[in-house]
Every structure is written in structure tokens, then in C-alpha cells.
Structure 1
């Protein structure tokens, strides 16, 4: 569930170089409703929460980026979801050092941990599944490859105000021990109604070149507020098994 929305959102941005972080603070909380179209009816299926917090280590203070998803109680008997994704990054550049994924979806369970070594362009990967299965390996990555969570936050560091409509950018993320490539197209500004009021937004179309997670042309869209925070307030996605939406419910602790 959260994996689908995160991949859809991230098929836009791990590319080139990012500006220094002036959009994301240490105590931000964004709450969303994730909806899914079943039999022609859009149902509110789960709550997705994105939170940031400082984490002190022996050498530095890192920024924890945490994403969780949980189905609403009425859906738990049908398909219970409890997903956790988190990344520990540089507060200034959002360069990832540690990534964890712990998901339970129906009867499926998976745990992943990535330890990044940017000097050697490798990721030390640990994967666990049910019944005690464990796999450890080293994965080579490119210079700009990030995990899915740090990528999702890094889109907010980009300068959309200087982009021309139709600008296309590419990205790479590491997911399930594989590098995935995708792109986004900047479609311009649009004002939309949200739970936070009417917002002028940057509108982006997402696409993938190495997975079938997304379907169609300009069928996968996100809207970021056209202000200094650049938070995601709305998303529409078409995936192999249907369509979905992501709508913001609340935002607190914003940096700007």
C-alpha cells in the first residue's frame, strides 16, 4: 500500500544535484488519506503519515524521515496494512545514510535495511521475511541514487519556479535491491482546493522507465504547494490493479 504510493510519488526525482535544504525542518508532520477505486467507488482506505525529527549520533545530528501507513479499522479484517519506511539523512542535503522498511500487508511481511557507503558507491543490504529467512548482500549504486523516502523528501528542494513547462527530469532509486529509473514532467502551476484551503501548486506528471508500477501517460500526477515548503497536497495514480488518490488532511511544524 504505502509502497505503491511511495513508488508512484518517487518516480520523479533522484537526479542531478539538489539545492541545500531550506524547506524541511526537524518537527514536521503531514497526514494524508489514501483512497482506492473499488468497483467504480473511491474508498478511503488508509492514513499515511510523514514525520521528521532530529536524531543525535556520536558524530552528528541527523534528520529522521519517517513514513507510516495504516488501514482504517473497518478495512483491517479485509486487508490489514501496517507499513513503516524511514530514512536517516543529512539535515542539509538529505543524503541518506541509513534506510529501513518494515511492512505487514495482509499475510505478507518484509523487513529491509540499507546502510549507504557513498565513498564506495555501495549499499549494504539486509532483508528478512517470515519463518526466519534472512539475506545479506552488497549492492552497487550510482552517484545520485537514493532510497525511496529520502527521494520523496528531496523533491521539495528543487526550484520549480525556474523550470519551463514541459521540462523533463530523470531519477534513480534503490528498491528491493534494484536500481529503478524514472522521470517526471513539469506541467506548470495550478490552484486547487485542499483541506488546508486553496493552494497554488506545482503540477508534475510521473513516469517510470524500469517498472510497471505506473500506468498511462499523464495518469499519475502530484501537486506541491508553490511556496517555500513545497509540501505534497494531492496525488492521483493509475497502477496495474486500479486507481488511487492521496489527499492531505493536516500539516504542522512546517519550517516556513
Structure 2
């Protein structure tokens, strides 16, 4: 879903930034709106939630993002997307990523197994009625999957960042490294469903015009507190524009 792309083009440039913002029982729920014939319609719900995941060797943090159209839109275009990443809870370094995209009659699955020490990734892609496709990849240090990228944004120290600062980042998506950039625009107070919030405002850009359009068309607001949760986003994509608004929060770390 394009909304997940928008969230992901925002990411960390601090490879070893420490996680002081995200706990293991957090749940953020958003309403996603899309512009149809000049009118913003609430078409989907996006949920971001965390949980603890234990393996035989370590305790990881599971980062899960889902996007589902509201039932009245299902006949028009049904979306049931799942993105999840299993990461080091201290710095959000990814070890395993899974993606299941169900949009209309289209299905695509992707799995990445990361080796952070060698910057190697084993990938498996599957599509409906087709055999699995395996491919080994080599990535740059600091490149992350789309989900750990979204959460890593919240580890950045905006408090000591100068207005106008620009930072670049790299995401691994569909087995390709994609470049993006954000610009820090300063603080702004906005009214949300969870109250009036002082926020850090970011402008987002990408070298992938098929994902995001324009240099001043995509923005994200993060709460200017220890949690730095996303509460509002505006995005423009090749087929239209829309908004992402916080609906409810639970289990915040701070």
C-alpha cells in the first residue's frame, strides 16, 4: 500500500542509534484518507504495533504494520497488507523481514534474512501460482527494510538538530536499494485525535518518482517528546494524494 511507502521514506541515518523511544507493547492506529474527485475519503486503517519475540538465541522486537480498507471500500479495491520486521530491540538492526501484499486480485510475498555482520541478505519472493524465487543480495551498511526504517526514524535526536538539516537514507525494497531524503522543518503544534501536540515537522523526498511525487508535497509530524510517535502525514503519489491521521495510541514506552 502506498501509505506504507510514504511512512518508510523517512528514515534513520544513525546506524547505531539507541532505542529509548519504542517499547515492546506499543500500538498505534491511524486512519488513512485518499483524495477522490477533490474529496478526502477515509478508506483504510493502518496499525503499527510491537511485541517481544524470543528465539533460541536472542530476544527480538517484532515490528508489525498492517493496512486494511474499511469494509465499504472492499468491493471497490480490497487491501489486506502485512509488513513485519524482527529487530535488535536496542538499535532496531533488522534480522528478519516479511511482507504479504493482498490488494484486489494481486498477491506478493517477500522475505529477507539479514546478516548484519556481512551486509548480506537472503531473499525469497513468492507470487500466486508461481514457484518461489530465491536471490542473495549484498547491501550497504545501514540499509534497512521498510518496517525497521519507519521505526528507526523515532531514534533520531531532533531536539539538537538545526532547522533546514537534510539527511539521506537507504531502504531495501523489492530487492533494490532505494534512496530518500528528509528535511527537518522545525517544531509545529497541531490538533490531533489524541489532543494538541507539539511536533517535529519533516519534509520527505525520494529519487523514486513512482513512489512519492514533488519536493514539497510530503510531510510528517512526530510528537516532540520522548516517544516521537507519528501523528499526522500528508503524501502525494503518482495516482493522487492523501493523509494519515492518528486515531489511538496504547502501550507507549515513555
The TM-score with structure 2 as length reference comes to 0.98
- 1:137-156 correspondence to structure 2 within 5 Å: 137-156=135-154
> Which segments of 5 or more consecutive residues in structure 1 lack a partner in the other structure?
none
> Which segments of 5 or more consecutive residues in structure 2 lack a partner in the other structure?
none
- 1:9-20 correspondence to structure 2 within 5 Å: 9-20=7-18
2:164 maps to 166
1:242 maps to 240
1:87 maps to 85
Shift of 1:18: 4.3
Q: Check whether the contact 2:12–2:156 (CA below 8 A) recurs between aligned residues.
A: no
State the Cα RMSD in Å: 0.9
Shift of 1:139: 1.0
1:58 maps to 56
Q: 1:132 aligns with which of 105, 121, 130?
A: 130
Shift of 1:111: 0.5
1:77 maps to 75
1:110 partnered with 2:128: no
2:184 maps to 186
Shift of 1:154: 0.3
Shift of 1:15: 2.2
Runs of 4+ in 1 over 6 A off after TM superposition: none
Report SS of the residue matched to 2:151.
Answer: helix
Shift of 1:119: 1.8
Q: 1:29 aligns with which of 27, 30, 47?
A: 27
Q: Distance in 2 between matches of 1:5 and 1:14?
A: 18
Report SS of the residue matched to 2:18.
Answer: coil
User: Quick check: 56-65 or 129-138, which moved more?
Assistant: 129-138
Between the two proteins, the alignment pairs up a number of residues equal to 254
Q: Distance in 2 between matches of 1:163 and 1:33?
A: 29
1:177 maps to 175
Task: Encode CA deviations 1:38-84: one digit per residue, 9 max, x unaligned.
Answer: 11010000000000000111111100000001100000111110000
